Chain A
Amino acid sequence: MALLEVKDLVVEFSLPEGKIRAPDGISFEVEHEEVLGIVGESGSGKSVTALAIMGLVPSPPGKVVNGKILFEGKDISGNIHELRGKEISMVFQNPLNSLNPSLKIGVQLVEVLQEHLNMSEREAWNRSVEVLKMMGIPDPETMMNRYPFEFSGGMRQRVMIAMAMLCEPKLLIADEPTTALDVTTQAQILKLFRKLKESSKTSIIFISHDLSVIAQIADRVVVMYAGKIVEKARIDDIFEHPFHPYTRGLLKSIPSFYKKRKSRFHSIPGNVPNLMNPPRGCRFHPRCSDASELCREKEPPFFKVNGSYVSCWLYQRGADHS
């Protein structure tokens, strides 16, 4: 049984201009001790998916209007507040917005353990120091008495990851955890995530807009576009033989070294559709060079191709099974 199962999840936002659905009917699983990457551009619904799992969709305007989220086989919509922070925890993009600026780091860490595991203050303090050390924070005893502003961006993100890992959760959701960081710091945090992956039993959902970052950490990838999942595959497969035209376009758009100088970059023509009024059929069809009449009319189901799942009519024939 998968650790987490998301089935047909739809989150709807009611805005004055109209209604937006993102994610719009997505399903995926997270296995035990695996890192699942979710990749997609802004507005694809990847962060909202994370918030929906955590039961944190801002309401109003947002609302989970359909779908089930099963954690260890049980529907968690009723008791997510019991699991949050203990069994499932989250790391956000900007650590400065997620730490309380007026409390010392130590106080914020100890509180988590006292709240979830009923630890005594002494125990909680020692455990916090231990986890900070694991996250590569130098001189953790002293750091416990510091305020968030006294930390650099990279160190704050380490503190956030420490806080998320305090209760040894079964699932850690990291939403663009390295996007706000400089490239050298990003490399350090990615290394830390890889260390966590090896040393703990925690499964990780790692959300990013950057396929290069996902390549460094994920076992499997879910590619999202305009509220839908377009492709699910193992990480090696996505890079070796991407199937969906969007995934292909995304991979080709990544700039690389050693290209002919000043040659033009590959780009996907057009813009991400307005989800207030999404295109009929496949949502990618207005930007897709392979689009046919069928793509304009009917939304493609998932076809299984060489172990990957692709939502694209191109693979209707030759698919193992629909």
Chain B
Amino acid sequence: MKILEIKNLKVYFPIKDKLFGKPERFIKAVDGVSFYVEKGETLGIVGESGSGKSTIAMTILGVHKKTAGEILFEGRAVESKEDFKFLRKKVQIVFQDPEASLDPRKRIKYIVREGLDIYKIGTKGDRERRVREVISKVGLTEDVLNKYPHELSGGQKQRVSIARALVLEPELLILDEPTSSLDVSVQAQILNLLMDLQERLSLTYIFISHDLKVVEHIADRVMIMYLGKVMEIGPAQDILLEPLHPYTRALLSSVPLPDPKVKKDDEVFEGEIPSPLDPPQGCPFKTRCKYAMDICDTPPEPIRLDDRLIFCYLYKEG
């Protein structure tokens, strides 16, 4: 069952060059993106900065307003303010930097309880019980409840963020680079916790990351994005172990390997991401693609190959 479906989503941010009148220029942060998330699976979203991956997350939660397209949650269109409020009870987010996403002046017990207070769930006693329950689920002890965020380590803070997201018993968790600000040894602890929680609570994840090795490991399917558009989407291992789209290949060849004997100077992929204010027409990757052809000036239609969809003229159906 599809828990979430996104159809042709566009999110444009206007640029105010002029003092009066309508803005004429837009940053097309997300430009015609469609995908779905099956119940119980992990969809990885991968892309470099400016690819639109976090914008998609914020738009699903109603923080950014969509310019066009449809968001369907459990089959129902999400349009009005009330729809989003309902959705936010079922869809929670964990941000990259727990330092910035936990209120420094509130105690942990309040931070974790806040969602229950907002949705007026249960009595005071119920809420406190629920808070203690999720705190132990994320591997913390109850003595953190009376502490402030600054008294905790980075890993503990990220556990609090996860507890806060779980307190409302959501169906879908959006994890926006949940381990990027953590040290390697702690990163592994948090990833393991997330995998355990998914199994135990049958959660669905959208896992946003730029770390291809982590995504290959924990995602079932993956979507590769570049400048607001989808390049390739399909089973994670197919895409990340046998990349087809030239951008996915470039991305993978850029990952430094923990082996001093493998230095990939010849494969280093030159050029820069174009400005999102003035993106190339057609395939946004064509300015850096060594296979670019004239036809790439027209936006490519998705090509289905086995279980994946590729937006590239190099490939043909079948």
Chain A residues lying within 8 Å of B8, measured Cβ to Cβ, are none
Q: A184-B269, A194-B265 are in contact. Are A262 and B218 (CB under 8 A)?
A: yes
Asked if B192 is at the interface of the complex by the 8 Å CB criterion, the answer is: yes
Evaluate contact between A187 and B256: CB separation under 8 angstroms. Answer: yes
Is A255 a contact of B211 with CB atoms below 8 Å?
yes
Q: Closest approach, in angstroms, between the C-beta of B258 and any C-beta of chain A?
A: 4
Contacts of A183 in B (CB 8 A): 48, 210, 212, 251, 254-255
What are the interface flags for B239-274 relative to A under an 8 Å C-beta threshold, 1 for contact and 0 otherwise? 011000000001101111111110111001110110
User: Cα distance A184–B248 when bound, in Å?
Assistant: 11
Q: Is B101 an interface residue (CB 8 A)?
A: no
Q: Kindly identify, within residues 211 to 264 of chain A, every residue whose CB is under 8 Å from any CB belonging to chain B.
A: 211-213, 215-216, 218, 235-236, 239, 249-251, 253-259, 261-264
Best-surrounded residue of A42, A153, A216, A265 (most CB of chain B within 10 A): A265
Residues on A with C-beta less than 8 A from B259 are: 215, 239
**Within 8 Å of chain B (Cβ to Cβ): is A271?**
yes
Asked if B254 and A257 make an inter-chain contact with CB atoms under 8 angstroms apart, the answer reads no
Q: Say yes or no: A182 contacts B49, CB within 8 Å.
A: yes
- Verify if A209 is at the interface (C-beta below 8 Å from B): yes
- Does B237 belong to the interface (CB within 8 Å)? yes
The residue on A at minimum CB distance from B270 is: A188
Interface size on B, as a range, is 35 or more
Main secondary structure of the interface of B (DSSP, over half): helix
A266 contacts chain B at the CB level, 8 A cutoff: yes
Q: Given A42-B183, A267-B188: A257 and B216 within 8 A (CB)?
A: yes
Give residues of chain A (169-222) contacting chain B, Cβ–Cβ below 8 Å.
182-188, 190-191, 194, 209-213, 215-216, 218
Query: Within the complex, which residue of B185, B237, B255, B265 is in contact with A253, where a contact is CB–CB below 8 Å?
Result: B185
CB distance from A246 to the nearest CB of B (A): 9
Q: How far is the CA of A194 from the CA of B270 in the complex (A)?
A: 15
- B214 contacts A by Cβ under 8 Å: yes
Give the nearest-CB partner of B214 in chain A.
Answer: A255
Answer yes or no: B19 CB below 8 A from chain A CBs: no
How far, in angstroms, from A271 to B158 measured CA to CA in the complex?
A: 13
Bound CA span A212–B255, Å: 9
- Distance of A137 from chain B, by nearest CB (Å): 11
Partner of B185, one of A184, A213, A256, A267: A267
Q: Does A299 reach chain B (CB closer than 8 Å)?
A: no
| Chain A residues within an 8 Å CB radius of B254 | 183-184, 186-187
* Residue B170 interfacial (CB < 8 Å): no
The proximity string for B residues 205-227 relative to A, scoring 1 for CB distances below 8 Å and 0 otherwise, is 00000111110111000000000
Number of interface residues of A (CB under 8 A): 48
The stretch from B22-30, B63-71, B124-132, B148-156 touching chain A is B148-156
With a CB–CB cut-off of 8 A, which chain A residues contact B251? 183-184
CA distance A117 to B156 in the complex (A): 50
Min Cβ gap B162→A in Å is 15
Residues from chain A with Cβ under 8 Å of B154 in the complex: 42
Q: Which of A40-90 contact B (CB under 8 A)?
A: 41-42
**Is there contact, CB below 8 Å, between B256 and A213?**
yes
Residues A250 and B195 in contact in the complex (CB < 8 Å), given A215-B259, A255-B217 = no
Bound: A216/B256 CA distance, A:
7
Contacts of B265 in A (CB 8 A): 191, 194
By the criterion CB–CB under 8 Å, are B187 and A253 in contact? yes
Q: How far is the CA of A250 from the CA of B217 in the complex (A)?
A: 18
Q: Is B186 close to A, CB under 8 A?
A: yes
B258 near A212 with CB under 8 A, answer: yes
Q: Of residues B241, B260, B263, which shows the largest number of chain A Cβ atoms within 10 Å of its Cβ?
A: B260
Contact B184 A187, beta carbon cutoff 8 Å: no
Contact assessment for A264 and B195 in the assembled complex, using a CB-CB cutoff below 8 Å: yes
> Which A residues are in CB contact (< 8 Å) with B264?
187
Q: Does B189 contact A (CB under 8 A)?
A: yes
Is A4's beta carbon under 8 Å from chain B?
no
A23 at the interface (CB under 8 A from B): no
**Residue A160, interface by CB 8 Å:** no
CB distance from A280 to the nearest CB of B (A): 20
Residue in contact with B188 in the complex, picked from A191, A194, A215, A266, CB distance below 8 Å: A266
Query: A216-B256, A239-B260, A262-B218 are known contacts. Are A253 and B272 too (CB-CB below 8 A)?
Result: no
In the assembled complex, 19 residue pairs joining A and B whose CB atoms fall closer than 8 Å, in A order, are: A41-B183, A41-B185, A42-B154, A182-B210, A187-B255, A194-B263, A194-B265, A210-B256, A212-B258, A215-B260, A216-B260, A239-B258, A254-B184, A254-B213, A257-B212, A262-B217, A267-B187, A267-B188, A271-B153
- Chain B residues at the A interface, C-beta cutoff of 8 Å: 48-49, 153-156, 183-189, 191-192, 195, 210-214, 216-218, 237, 240-241, 250-251, 253-261, 263-265, 268-270, 272-273
Binding site for B on A (CB under 8 A): 41-42, 152-155, 182-188, 190-191, 194, 209-213, 215-216, 218, 235-236, 239, 249-251, 253-259, 261-269, 271-272
Return the 7 tightest CB-CB contacts between A and B, nearest first: A267-B188, A41-B183, A265-B188, A187-B254, A268-B185, A182-B48, A255-B213
14 new A-B contacts, CB < 8 A, other than A262-B195, A266-B188, are A153-B49, A182-B48, A182-B273, A183-B48, A184-B254, A188-B270, A191-B265, A211-B258, A255-B191, A261-B217, A264-B195, A267-B186, A269-B189, A272-B153
